[in-house]
Amino acid sequence: MLSGLVIVDKPQGWTSHDVVGRMRRIAGTRKVGHAGTLDPMATGVLVVGINKATRLLTYIVGTSKTYTATIRLGQSTVTDDAEGDVVASAGTSAVAEQAIHDGVAALTGGIQQVPSSVSAIKVNGERAYARVRSGEDVKLAARPVTIHRFEVHGIRRDTGADVIDIDVTVECSSGTYIRALARDLGNGLGVGGHLTALRRTHVGPYSLDQARTLEQLAEELDVLEMSQAARALMPNRELSAEETTEISYGRRIAAGAAPGSPGAATADHPAAAFAPDGSLVALLADSGNYAKPVLVFAPGNGNSAAAGGEA
């Protein structure tokens, strides 16, 4: 059975769910999922898992992401991006370039970010955007995120429209909203702001260079095989033949790293364990002097099992 990751270059106007539906038809299987939503306006890297590889998606969701984007200063929208109506405008002629760079610096590093009110975050069991559309004034709580890199590549003034467009690259932790960065940069400068373009270039170790359009994938399904995908995503552990047998039956083996050391694998951040032939056997977590399987990929039968029973 075909299993692996597909790095899709998501087209503008498609939801991530739309892409999953199309990939189900292309791959000929219902067992397809994605690792992190992209807004319909956005394009770029969307990691899709097929069959057994869907079990890797949970470990991809939490990885860092990189985006290129364009932020417009001088206009605020209801959605914090170009898909929403403009709700406020302010002149930008007095905004100095140094003030823009200072504002970007203030939003770099560890920050508290309030997500956009039209995000997919659930409020009492209902998506925030659905509550906004029904007329409710939604206030979301701030959450900690990390902006590893926020670089300005270009600043363009449109004197006719009295707006400023800024081209940026953002590398950030999982859970960051680039729309909210655009909003907060504009608000910090006193003129408002929103996102006009967004393209995701990296999700963890997977990049736009690996991505294929849906049209290309329909012609030739380019799948990153399970072992390759795991090698790029996680710390690697090479098993002996004896260790491979033990782990295949869900039994523990000697730890790969000393307890509490930086190299110790955990259930949230496991190591990928490989058989002598290079195939992916399991995901392992170190516990004291032993390594225990978090997830075992049973050889030959296309199934995977969580430690202690069927997945």
Say how far apart CA 90 and CA 166 lie, in whole Å: 16
pLDDT at position 127, please? 60
**Residue 46 sits in a domain of what CATH number?**
3.30.2350.10
Answer whether residue 198 is part of any domain: no
- For 119-149, what is each residue's pLDDT tens digit? 666 656 666 556 556 556 667 789 999 999 9
Kindly state the percentage of the chain with pLDDT values over 70.
Answer: 88
Question: Are 9 and 37 members of one domain?
Answer: yes
109 and 15, same domain (yes or no): no
Average pLDDT of the residues in 47-69: 96
Total tally of structural domains belonging to the chain: 3
Q: Supply the mean pLDDT for the chain.
A: 90
Our answer to whether residue 39 is catalytic in this structure is: yes
* Residue 305 is assigned to a structural domain of this protein: no
Q: Are residues 40 and 110 in the same domain?
A: no
Mean pLDDT along residues 215-237: 96
Do 58 and 98 fall into the same domain? no
Q: Would you say residue 308 lies in a domain?
A: no
For the chain, give the percent of residues with pLDDT over 90.
Answer: 77
Q: Are residues 188 and 75 in the same domain?
A: yes
Q: Are residues 188 and 251 in the same domain?
A: no
Do residues 59 and 104 share a domain? Answer: no
Beta-strand relationship, 236-238 and 271-274: parallel
CATH number at residue 274: 2.30.130.10
CA separation for the pair 306, 199 (Å, rounded): 35
What is the token pair recorded at 203?
């999700």
pLDDT for 108 equals: 98
pLDDT digits over 99-120, tens only? 999 999 999 999 999 988 766 6
Mean pLDDT throughout 11-24? 96
In a domain, 309, yes or no: no
The pLDDT of residue 134 is 59
Q: Select which of 9, 18, 39, 222 is catalytic.
A: 39
Domain check: are 57 and 94 in the same one?
no
CB 33 within 8 A of CB 16: no
> Is residue 15 domain-resident?
yes
Predicted pLDDT of residue 300:
39
Task: Convert the pLDDT of each residue in 267-283 to its tens digit.
Answer: 999 999 999 999 999 99
Tell me: the pLDDT tens digits for 143-197?
A: 999 999 999 999 999 988 999 999 999 999 999 999 999 999 999 999 999 999 9
Cβ atoms of 50 and 27 within 8 Å: the answer is yes
Range of the domain at 28: 4-63+204-226
52 and 104 co-located in one domain = no
Same domain, 135 and 35: no
Element (H, E) at 126: strand 126-127
Quick check: is 103 in a domain?
Answer: yes
Instruction: Indicate if 122 and 81 belong to the same structural domain.
Output: yes
* Domain co-membership, 83 together with 164: yes
